[in-house]
Structure 1
């Protein structure tokens, strides 16, 4: 027998903890609490003694009252009442569950050394000990929920037998910078390989299209950009098999091109580069190769593994070569799925149609989806009333990699949600209700994203192995130095990795990438845009801005070592736009401001932003409404603001007001 606690042994022997404690004191075993652990020898001796006592009492006093009580207790132990509770429960609720007087329960708790009033909460372990005294077994709701969820997931999405797998068409996402010809390239591919008008507007409307090349299918996803690609990945949806990166030969690598590369790399998807607009006079494909090589995409002819295909969407040049390369990469990936099982797919996009109700575009990933199937997608459920393919035709079934539009869901699901086929409507409704309940509970708890403040604790628990960082700065020169300096901070426990870097303000795209990759954003002399700040709050992304590079290095190094103790926290009060400037003799330049968000207070600190780059940080020298000095100006009001010892204010500048709040150590 292994080591055992006093209350556990009492349970096994069919007696109360108090009786066992008395027996232990008789044997001179020094035990103070019901929670103490007993050594093996003591356990064996006790078991032997108590069993002997039971036998003798059974023979001599078979009709005695004491024997009846023990028999009753043993009966309760064999046929235990089971109650379910969460991590904590109030004394009153527990008393109701085990059907005893709360006063009696409080006395029992005091005997255990727990002082609790009738409405106070006790933890799961204490509740288990007390309930066991009255013949009840306590089970955790959370553990049961987790087990049920695991069973549910295993039933909905399971691994198929390798023998049942059959080849499926590749799913391709076209990415790249604005105006580099993504849409033109997709149109050229469709017109070359799809019967002309059949696809037209419907393809755009459904968000995906199927192309047939050499009797093989390729599915192209039309995404509004890499933001959608990432927001889907943030929900755990890995739909894309291959990413085609479109780069204009006359324009080269642009900021969005770099973002697209980082998003595709973060999703671990093979990249094929389509060098577009090669028909232009100023086209320079070699420059594109050179620039992309700097971002880790080395062409095959240079000894790398990235396929480059020169194309012209306008002149329909190189389209066939591009499609052949896509098929080649797909062949190397050996994409397979089992069509003979309950379907599982991913929602690409969804909307509410006035005439048809919730409409969702789905890419089937496993199995075959049929009209009439009962389905579940996130918190939405229903029965498929109709399916429409990318040519606008109504179809009865959809096989793996096929994009279809479905009707019949109870609500509009989120893009990136998995769609599963279940046995019947009742089961679908039940799962949806459980998910809604869980979602409500999760929304009450704050999402735990990685942050510098809690980094050391997360490293200790083994939750963080890689610390992903996104670096944004005002000039390109400092980015490389920053990246190298931060990556040198890697230790045995945690590896610091820069997953994206760029010049300019911290945007919503950066926040979404940070959310999907659980990254921290580090900004130098740049600030987040207002929508980005709101999104960072919602997504719980840690955004750190610095003026001095060494401060960032010190902060991250201290966080990794667990010594980061922030003394002050910055609280943004509001933002105002400079709409006019006035030169006042003996005072200097005063800004005529309009408060767009929050408020500007007289004693707050301010920073002056020009194109979201920090120009100056300082204090307010004067704050007025008309001719009166005021303490604060609220949202939607105008006023005059002077900055202490600073006059270089221009129309269009943004003034951000903030205060530093002391954080208790």
Structure 2
């Protein structure tokens, strides 16, 4: 190794802030967390602030293999370091940072990412899988994040759901509020292994994308009887396969045109694809104000079957003409849930 290093002129820069690797670590009964570190580049000094994965601290003292105190450790020097906030893991990379505030912020962000990663592997709960989980004793309660359009409706739906609790499984309303379904609602359902129920409430774009990515079940209802029936059947193992809504694209209304027989929306297709005859809803400030289908689709002066993202087009919606600038036309389809 020494010969190869000499021939290839492999050198470490001792002037830079130290970086290296944790070889081993332990919790000493008198000194606290102690870590044996190998300095791979730079020079490590007493009073340097170091970060090792999710651990940080100010170097209070360093010792060599004979237990003698050191003030500095050059490249390729193994040292035992005292002053870390916790015991790091063997193999963790460490680096010297400017100050304790930067070290804390780095560790906090890494801990946040680790917490998010630990949540992600959870298999999301769905109404279809509920009975199987109950039968095997894996769950004792159905966690629900409930959103409704108005407070009166929210209270009535919450009371009706809570009355469905029985000996084998309890209905637990984790969170209930009015308004649209947001990413926070989806994350709460994922963390609690629950589902999201929207009563006359729709998810925003971010919530829909997150729910699809994480597999969180979002249910939409406008009739309380249908909601209670589905939850009851799920608890009894009799829920039939359902069709789920898949968003196909969005078009933003830029201008409204008067034409023979009514008005059409001059739109820019933001994402996905707009198809003539597709199911569509008109959103105004994220609230659905009309749902039907695309009755007409034109590009310049020609009727077309579809328009891809990034292009302009004229869209007519069946049974609706009250377009306003900045409205969003959301295209969707129904697909059977596997």
Question: TM-score if structure 1 supplies the norm length?
Answer: 0.37
Asked whether the equivalents of residues 52 and 95 of structure 2 are also in contact (C-alpha less than 8 Å), the reply is no
Measure, in 2, the Cα distance between the counterparts of 1:496 and 1:383. 47
Residue 610 of structure 1 deviates from its aligned partner by 1.8
Per-residue CA deviation, residues 476-507 of structure 1 (Å, 9 max, x unaligned), is 22111111111111121111111112222211
In 1: Cα distance, 2:32 partner to 2:317 partner: 69
Q: Counterparts of 1:663 and 1:405 in 2: how far apart (Å)?
A: 45
**Alpha-carbon distance in 2 for matches of 1:558, 1:363:** 52
Alpha-carbon deviation of 1:663? 5.2
Contact 2:56 2:85 in 1 (8 A): no
Report the number of matched residues: 274
Partners of 2:205 and 2:30 in 1: how far apart?
Answer: 47
Does 2:235 match 1:560?
yes
**1:463–1:341 distance in 2 versus 1, CA, 3 Å:** farther
- Which of 110, 119, 123 in structure 2 is aligned with 1:413? 110
Name the structure 2 match of 1:585.
Answer: 260
* The one of 51, 73, 92 aligned to 1:381: 92
1:624 aligns with 2:292: no
What TM-score do the two structures reach when normalised by structure 2?
Answer: 0.69
Out of 521, 529, 537, the residue aligned to residue 212 of structure 2 is 537
Structure 1 pair 526–595 and aligned structure 2 pair: CA distance change class (3 A): farther
Counterpart CA distance in 2 for 1:501 and 1:363 is 39
Query: CA 1:525–1:610 in 2, change beyond 3 Å: closer, same or farther?
Result: farther
SS in 1 for 2:166: coil
- Cα distance change of structure 1 residues 384 and 547 upon mapping to structure 2, 3 Å threshold: same
Greater fraction helix: 1
Spell out, residue by residue over 1:377-397, the C-alpha distance to the aligned partner (whole angstroms, 9 max, x if none): 9xx82347579546x8xxxxx
Asked if structure 2 preserves the Cα contact closer than 8 Å seen for 1:385 and 1:406, the reply is no
| Structure showing the higher strand proportion among its residues | 2
Contact 2:275–2:305 (Cα < 8 Å) also in 1: yes
* 1:504 paired to 2:203: no
- Structure 1 position 537, deviation (Å): 2.4
Change (3 A) 1:561 1:373: closer
CA apart distance, 1:657: 0.9
Please show how residues 45-56 of structure 1 align to structure 2 within 5 Å. none
Is 1:483 the counterpart of 2:158 in the alignment? yes
- Give the Cα–Cα distance (whole angstroms) in 2 for the partners of residues 569 and 608 of structure 1: 19
Query: Where in structure 1 are there 5+ consecutive unaligned residues?
Result: 1-155, 157-337, 344-355, 393-403, 419-434
Deviating above 6 A after TM superposition, structure 1's stretches of 4 or more consecutive aligned residues are 338-341, 356-361
Contact map agreement 1:371 1:387 (CA 8 A) in 2 = no
Give runs of aligned pairs for residues 171-210 of structure 1, distance below 5 A: none
Greater gyration radius: 1
Is 1:633 the counterpart of 2:332 in the alignment? Answer: no
Q: Which has the higher contact order (CA 8 A, sep 6+)?
A: 2
Answer yes or no: is the 8 Å Cα contact 2:50–2:56 preserved in 1: no
Cα 1:651–1:372 change in 2 (3 A) is closer
Structure 2 residue ranges without an equivalent (≥5)? 1-24, 35-48, 58-81
